[in-house]
């Protein structure tokens, strides 16, 4: 029997109410459960037995679209990790087949204790141009912060009891600051209650392992690429430049990440040894959605020093904040250039230009790349920016001064068999 028009209208109303109810937004399992419940529940005897299955659509975005609030990408991350491991395993295998096994830790140790244990290579390593320049640069920044901060203390409007600051002007206080993993001085640093020996040994083991991995990457991966070229990067044609740079992307980026982790281990080792409490040495720069956010988070001690002793002083002299930020960035870029170029006796502005290029990218493309896209742009710049610029300096030094390098293009203390 054909139902009446009023019955059909009532049925459509019931179905539309089902489609607009919250139960229609649940997954298929809950829908099937609701079917079984509605079939047995006497209160729902008047409902159509398949009413909950008639509406399976609602307004929603695709999971991978930019408007979606979906964030559970762990499976994709696992897939990327496995793919990277397999891809680079192929590269390592190809490198091993072509060049053989070049990593030799024993040879490194032999060179470190050569010449009847006089350790000339250790002296070379500790007194080398890179380490000397980094050491004296950090020392200069620390001493400047020390005198500037004490000048601020003397200028502070305090009571007579609080202005007796001579008790802090001691060699012990100064030496503690010089050894502490920070560039900014203050009185009464926050301290931890005691030295944890297990943490100290843990950090020391991390440093030893990471250094060995870095030496292995240089010997096995980067050096063969250097050997294939006989000219400076500046004299290559565009095709050869691209080929060499693409080949150096992965190993140089791994070295950069390992150097970051080595810095993490070293700073925490020093902090644990000195009971230094503030161990906020970096932020979550890997989640940065802009290059500016990355620069502010990847090196907190240096960023604090620049903000405290350069940016603030410029603003006090009526320099606009935006101009002060630009001057601080250019100063940092010039300092990075000097730290790499001077020890290698070559100034070709690779590092400085790479950082300036990143600044232009941040200014002109920052509004177009936000969120996950912005984070992807940051990682792309990290892959193609400073690590490759630094490597080009080493490559050109390898070509220009072959007599200062070993048969494999490495300093003596890194030479394999």
Three-class SS string for 213-274? HHHHHHHHHHHHHHHCCCCCHHHCCHHHHHHHHHHHHHHHHHHHHHHHHHHHHHHHHHHHHH
Q: Are 240 and 366 found together in one domain?
A: yes
Kindly calculate the radius of gyration of the chain based on its CA atoms and give it in whole angstroms: 31
User: 52 and 31 in contact (C-beta within 8 Å)?
Assistant: yes
Q: Are 48 and 185 found together in one domain?
A: no
Q: Are 357 and 298 found together in one domain?
A: yes
Give the pLDDT score at 308: 92
Give the pLDDT score at 37: 40
Q: Are 226 and 341 found together in one domain?
A: yes
Q: Are 352 and 236 found together in one domain?
A: yes
Segments in the chain below pLDDT 50: 1, 21-45, 120-121, 123-124, 403-417
Question: Three-state SS for 55?
Answer: coil
Sign of the alpha-carbon torsion through 315, 317, 320, 324: negative
Q: Are 313 and 403 found together in one domain?
A: yes
Residues with Cβ < 8 Å from 244, sequence gap 6 or more?
A: 225, 229, 233, 236, 395
Q: Are 287 and 218 found together in one domain?
A: yes
Question: Three-state SS for 193?
Answer: coil
User: 213 and 261 in contact (C-beta within 8 Å)?
Assistant: no
Cα distance between residue 201 and residue 204, in whole Å: 5
In a domain, 116, yes or no: yes
In a domain, 345, yes or no: yes
Q: Are 149 and 224 found together in one domain?
A: yes
In a domain, 155, yes or no: yes
In a domain, 372, yes or no: yes
User: Which residue, chain included where needed, has tokens 């830790």?
Assistant: 105
* 99 membership: H or E segment, kind and range: helix 74-99
CB atoms within 10 A of CB 172: 8
In a domain, 71, yes or no: no
User: 363 and 326 in contact (C-beta within 8 Å)?
Assistant: no
Give the pLDDT score at 159: 53
In a domain, 9, yes or no: yes
Give the pLDDT score at 130: 76
Question: Three-state SS for 369?
Answer: coil
Q: Are 231 and 334 found together in one domain?
A: yes
- The total domain count for the chain is 2
Domain that holds residue 28: 5-53
Q: Are 106 and 48 found together in one domain?
A: no
Residues in the chain: 417
| Long-range contact pairs involving 49-52 (C-beta distance under 8 Å, separation at least 24) | 51/14, 51/15, 51/18, 52/18, 52/23, 52/24
Cα distance between residue 281 and residue 124, in whole Å: 29
User: Which residue, chain included where needed, has tokens 């140089």?
Assistant: 252
CB atoms within 10 A of CB 43: 7
Nearest of 107, 362, 128, 399 to residue 244 by alpha carbon: 399
Nearest of 180, 178, 128, 142 to residue 302 by alpha carbon: 142
Give the pLDDT score at 204: 93
Give the pLDDT score at 102: 67
């Amino acid at each position: 029997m054909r139902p009446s028009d009023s019955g059909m209208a009532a049925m459509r109303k019931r179905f539309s109410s089902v489609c607009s109810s919250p139960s229609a937004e649940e997954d298929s399992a809950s829908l099937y459960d609701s079917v079984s419940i509605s079939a047995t529940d006497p209160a729902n005897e008047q409902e159509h037995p398949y009413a909950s299955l008639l509406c399976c659509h609602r307004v929603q975005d695709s999971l991978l679209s930019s408007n979606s609030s979906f964030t559970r990408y762990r499976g994709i991350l696992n897939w990327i990790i496995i793919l990277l491991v397999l891809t680079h395993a192929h590269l390592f295998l190809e490198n091993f087949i072509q060049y053989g096994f070049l990593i030799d830790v024993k040879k490194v140790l032999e060179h470190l204790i050569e010449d009847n244990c006089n350790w000339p290579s250790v002296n070379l390593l500790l007194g080398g141009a890179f380490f000397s320049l980094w050491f004296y640069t950090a020392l200069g920044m620390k001493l400047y912060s020390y005198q500037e901060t004490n000048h601020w203390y003397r200028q502070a409007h305090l009571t007579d009891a609080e202005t007796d600051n001579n008790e802090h002007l001691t060699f012990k206080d100064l030496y503690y600051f010089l050894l502490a993993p920070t560039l900014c001085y203050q009185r009464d640093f926050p301290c931890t209650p005691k030295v944890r020996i297990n943490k100290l040994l843990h950090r020391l083991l991390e440093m030893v392992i990471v250094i060995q991995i870095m030496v292995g990457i240089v010997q096995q991966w980067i050096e063969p690429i250097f050997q294939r070229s006989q000219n400076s990067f500046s004299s290559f044609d565009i095709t050869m430049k691209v080929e060499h740079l693409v080949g150096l992307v992965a190993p140089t980026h791994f070295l950069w990440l390992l150097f970051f982790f080595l810095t993490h281990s070293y700073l925490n080792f020093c902090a644990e040894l000195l009971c230094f409490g503030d161990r906020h040495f970096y932020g979550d720069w890997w989640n940065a959605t802009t290059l500016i956010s990355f620069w502010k988070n990847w090196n907190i001690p240096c960023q604090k020093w620049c903000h405290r002793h350069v940016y603030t002083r410029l603003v006090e002299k009526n320099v606009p904040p935006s101009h002060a930020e630009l001057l601080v960035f250019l100063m940092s870029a010039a300092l990075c250039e000097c730290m790499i170029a001077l020890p290698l006796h070559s100034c070709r502005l690779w590092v400085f230009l790479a950082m300036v290029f990143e600044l232009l990218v941040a200014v002109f493309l920052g509004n177009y790349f936000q969120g996950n896209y912005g984070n992807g742009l940051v990682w792309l710049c990290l892959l193609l920016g400073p690590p490759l610029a630094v490597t080009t300096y080493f490559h050109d030094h390898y070509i220009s001064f072959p007599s200062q390098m070993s048969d494999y293009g490495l300093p003596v203390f890194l030479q394999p068999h």
